[in-house]
Structures are given as structure tokens and as C-alpha cells.
Amino acid sequence: MFKVNPDGMRMEPTPERVLSVCRLVSHKSMSRDEVRQCMTLGINDEKELDQINKSINVALEELALIKADADNLVLAVDPSIIASSKAFRRYVSARVFSAKDTTFHMFTKWLIAQNERIFALKSWEGMAKTCASEVKELAALNENAVLGWRFWAAFLGLGYLSGTMIIPNMKLRLEDILATTYTEKFKYNETVLAQDFILWLSTKIPEVEIGSNLPLALSAGLRTLHEIGLIKLETWSDSTPIMLYYVDGDPINGFTHISVKEAMDS
């Protein structure tokens, strides 16, 4: 799922399956066969077994959540990392978004840069074909790869799934970053220049190409966090604004200052 390109993405290892594998072996070391038997309730359905096998491989080889100990699988991380979906998500995000040479990262970066164009593509197959024709390194991309991508993209906070598309909104991705790394540079509840904030943020979200205007997914995330009171976007007349992706009728299309509320850390 997160291997170096051109290794593709797959539908079978969903976030829920990978987390279930980890929680299972955290209680007791198990062989691969024991994990498969437990997760399929002993039913030897070939499709289900393939799903579990690929989920084990992602947890073991790509995310280093579990490891092999002789003939058994054991948990390789602190149990707190799999105690909640939030902790699991933040662990996975820190690993997968920093690896820029994976098919997952390359497709994510391409898709975020499309802004409203993705709505015209209308289907996962359309996204795959268009991306494959435009990004040389992803020429082998197919619909199944993108169908696998969508589950992780939604889980990691890049947007919301709606039928045959993803609605770009990085609210959850931003929330995780601001909750875990914001105080390395700034203080909660203090007003910060937008330019300083975006310069810092650009180092935390390598999947986003930040230009003169912020992309739709990032802009939607900032607007959402502002609307629910976790951040405050302000425009002061004596400062140059950072421009959000324009949305007709939205009262906030730019900001010069930002404050992040301490509640973000909860």
C-alpha cells in the first residue's frame, strides 16, 4: 500500500483491517495462520484470506507496527499507538506522508493539486486514467489502486468520501498536525503571522504544493477549523494576506494572522 513507486496500491489492506491485525497480535503472539484463522473465524474463504494476508504485510513490512519473532508475529510499537483510531492515524500519518517516493504520496500530491477539477473526473477510474496520463511515474496507475487509496486518504484526513469521489478537506489532517507539532514552533492561543504559519506548515505537509493561493483541500480544512472554533483566522489591514482557494460566498478568502486554540491539544 505504501511501498516505493512503481509498486502499486491495493484495495484489500484497509485501515480497519490493519488495525485489527495489530490489536490481535498485541494480546498474544501468533503465527500468520493463527491470525488468518482468528480474523476469518476459521472460514477458509480465499478472498478473505487474501485480504488478511495483505493487511498483515502492510502492518509488518510497510508500517512496522508488528514484527516477526521466530515463527510468530508480535507487536513492534507501544500499545498506546493502537489503543485508539486517533493514535493509530497519527502514527501512520507521520510515516506515510514523509515518504515522498511512494505511489501513495505521488498520487495524493497530484490529486490535491487538482482542486475543483477532481469533481469533473466523476469516477475513481477517471481519476486513475487522468493521473496516469499526466504523471509519468504513475503511468501504471489503475482504478483498483485508487480504490485502495481512497480508504486511507479519508482515514488520514485528506477529505470525505461521497459516492464516487472524495470531497477535498484537510480538516482532520491539519488537526493532527496542530495537536502534535504546533508547540514545537508556536504557542497555543497566541496570534501568529499567516506567512510564518504557512512557512512552518509547508514543512509538515509535504503532500501539498503551496503556491500563491492555497489549494482547495487545505483551504477547506482551515475554514472548517475556523468555523468550529479550533483556530481563528483574522485579516489585519496593515499586513499582506495569505489567500485561500476562492469559494463564492464564503466570508473568508484570505488571512493575515492565525491563532490556534489550546483545545486543539485535547
E runs forming strands in 205-247:
231-234, 242-243
Check residues 41 and 197 and name the one with the higher pLDDT. Answer: 197
Interval 141-153: pLDDT, tens: 999 999 999 999 9
Alpha carbon 68 to its chain centroid, in Å, reads 27
| Encoded amino acid at 75, one letter | L
Helices (H), the chain: 15-27, 32-39, 46-57, 85-96, 103-113, 117-121, 124-134, 143-155, 171-180, 194-202, 216-227
Is residue 248 within 8 Å of 171, Cβ to Cβ?
A: no
According to DSSP, the residues that pair with 192 across neighbouring strands are 258
Distance CA 110, CA 149 (A): 13
Taking each helix axis from N to C end, the angle separating 171-180 and 85-96, rounded to the nearest 10 degrees, works out to 90
Q: What share of the chain is helix, strand, coil (3-state, %, to 5)?
A: 50, 15, 35
Mean pLDDT along residues 33-54:
88
Per DSSP, what are the bridge partners of residue 243?
213, 254
162 backbone φψ class: left, alpha, beta (φ>0; ψ -120 to 50) = beta
Instruction: List Cα–Cα distances, 241 to 48, 120, 194, 208, 257, in angstroms.
Output: 52, 30, 7, 19, 8
- Output the nine-digit C-alpha cell for 57: 504485510
What separation in angstroms does the CA of 13 have from each of 34, 61, 118, 127? Answer: 18, 12, 25, 21
- Rounded Cα distance between 147 and 35, Å, is 25
In angstroms, the CA 266 to CA 261 distance is: 10
Of 134 and 122, which is predicted with more confidence? 134
Instruction: Report residue 1's pLDDT band, with 50, 70 and 90 as the boundaries.
Output: very high
Which pLDDT tens digit goes with each residue over 54-89?
999 999 999 999 999 989 999 999 999 999 999 999
% residues pLDDT > 90 (the chain): 88
pLDDT at 265: 74
Can you give the pTM of this predicted structure?
0.95
**Backbone region of residue 240 per phi and psi (left: phi > 0; alpha: psi in -120 to 50; beta: other values):** beta
> What pLDDT shows up at residue 45?
82
CA nearest neighbour of 66 among 75, 78, 55, 53? 75
The angle subtended at Cα 134 by Cα 253 and Cα 143, nearest 5°, is: 95
Three-state DSSP class for residue 82: helix
